[in-house]
Structure 1
Amino acid sequence: MTKILVIDDEPDLVKFVKRALETDGYQVLTTTNGFDGIRLALTERPDLVVLDLIMPGVNGEAVLSALMAQDPGLRVLILSATGDVQLRISCLEQGAVDFLAKPFAVRELIARVRSRLRETATMRRRDTLQVGNIVLDLQARQLLVDGKPTVLSQREFLLLLHLMRNANAVCTRQELLSEVWGYDFDPATNVVDVCIGRLRAKLRPDLIVTVRNVGYQLQSA
């Protein structure tokens, strides 16, 4: 059974979310503090973590940072009332796969959970992607360039994954912001360009082409 871990310091909200997710057929683990959240995430290996940010003691941002450092493949959906756009951006850049603001509609939460779990299942069904001389191992989250392993950050992995799945097609900046960073708005930052620059340094620089005023294209040859 698919396992989800909910980390939030509001007991009533935790019960509400747990009941909604269990009704949808998931096994749900819960905790109301960040310290236990880290422990459970690393020992129970859930398929998805639903994480609040504003918590006493070890806050959600610290939990996310610890989880990404120890298990960068772990998928984390942020569920928070914070209105701090920069904090939202920071969490997505650190490796969170989605961000849902409180208050929220339970149907939207369920839809986002299903969507993120479908992504996980898709990656598990297909172990590798190859475009030209680059191979992306979806299980190990490792990049091979001419057979040599190269380390990727969580965000670099997701960006390259999207580009490889759409090889030779032009991916717009807004598309990449939505699919890779989870933004439904333009945060007016250069996060895409910076991440593309890091990927180019790990691939052949000419493999990712800039399409002026549109986006980027990963070329297969």
Structure 2
Amino acid sequence: MDWSILQLPEHLLTTAKACWLRTLLIEDDALTARAISETLVREGIECVWDAEAEAGLRHAATADFDVIIMDRMLPGMDGIAAIEQLRGSGIRKPVLMLSALGRAQHRVEGLDVGADDYLAKPFEPTELVARVRALHRRGAALANQPVIVHGDIEMHLKARTAYRAGQHLKLSPKEFDVLKLLMENAGQVVTRQMLLLRVWKLNFDPQTNVIDVNLVRLRRKLDEGFGQPWLETVRGKGYRLRPAHAN
């Protein structure tokens, strides 16, 4: 079930601005969802609504959205598990988590699993719109960024070159792609599933050690001789670049 600008009341169609930004709203409460949708449409932000996490995840995987807005307390699969699955499948669109749980520990939990922002209920509609716009700007800037920097690692995407502490890293094409994915998700776990899908373009595990071989080579080129290592293995989950403040 979804609402787009064409499905909203007639009075909104005459007052809404032209849509230039597309959002996916995953919210189980219909009244809240409708209020959010109407607020966004008035500001020229298209809103597609799903009431369950499973349906929202399917939508996120098959359609192009600029920002995903997700309630934390959803039936069946909650928002925390949904974001973990979203990130595990390689979807990097900015996520704004909404929740009645507004304590610091709750915000930390949401941000740690991959949410880009966290807004506690109740909230002002103008703040919701501002945060959605900010996430869209951030996501667009990252998508068009020719250089990615994390700590003393620097990647030039157009030239496909990488450096650590100013020293050129001689990476193979696959090693470059692996490092790029790790850089785009710095501080978060990159699973084997993400590596297979995004780097090797496979949606199944070929039961080979191709990932392990490339990660061993990348670790040697990236970390040996540079003091503190960046690349770490998260047992049973995958790999990650340590957060910049940890080195």
TM-score bracket for this pair, using the shorter chain length: 0.5 to 0.7
Q: TM-score of the superposition, structure 1-length normalised?
A: 0.64
Equivalent position SS for 1:79:
strand
Identity of aligned residues (%): 25
In 2, the alpha carbon distance for the partners of 1:130 and 1:9 equals: 38
In 2, the alpha carbon distance for the partners of 1:112 and 1:152 equals: 26
Runs of 4+ in structure 1 off by over 3 angstroms are: 129-133, 142-145, 201-208
- Does structure 1 residue 21 correspond to structure 2 residue 17? no
In 2, the alpha carbon distance for the partners of 1:37 and 1:70 equals: 13
Alpha-carbon shift at residue 121 of structure 1 (Å) = 2.0
Equivalent position SS for 2:182:
coil
In structure 1, what residue type is equivalent to 2:58? Answer: R
| Contact 2:102/2:121, CA 8 A, preserved across alignment | no
Alpha-carbon shift at residue 58 of structure 1 (Å) = 1.4
CA gap of 1:134–1:40, structure 2 versus 1, over 3 A, is same
What does the per-residue CA deviation read over 1:36-86, in whole Å, with 9 as the maximum and x for residues that have no partner? 011011111311100001111111111111101012422111011114543
Provide the residue aligned with 1:135 in structure 2: 155
Q: Which runs of 5+ in 1 are unaligned?
A: 159-200, 209-214
Equivalent position SS for 1:57:
coil
In 2, the alpha carbon distance for the partners of 1:153 and 1:122 equals: 15
What does the per-residue CA deviation read over 1:165-194, in whole Å, with 9 as the maximum and x for residues that have no partner? xxxxxxxxxxxxxxxxxxxxxxxxxxxxxx
CA gap of 1:84–1:143, structure 2 versus 1, over 3 A, is farther
In structure 1, what residue type is equivalent to 2:155? Answer: V
Q: Which runs of 5+ in 2 are unaligned?
A: 1-19, 164-168, 189-220, 231-243
Q: TM-score of the superposition, structure 2-length normalised?
A: 0.58
CA gap of 1:16–1:205, structure 2 versus 1, over 3 A, is farther
Query: Aligned runs of 1:180-219 on 2, under 5 Å?
Result: 204-205=226-227
- Does structure 1 residue 156 correspond to structure 2 residue 175? no
Whichever of the two has the greater Rg, that structure is 2
Provide the residue aligned with 1:42 in structure 2: 61
Provide the residue aligned with 1:115 in structure 2: 134
In 1, the alpha carbon distance for the partners of 2:187 and 2:104 equals: 23
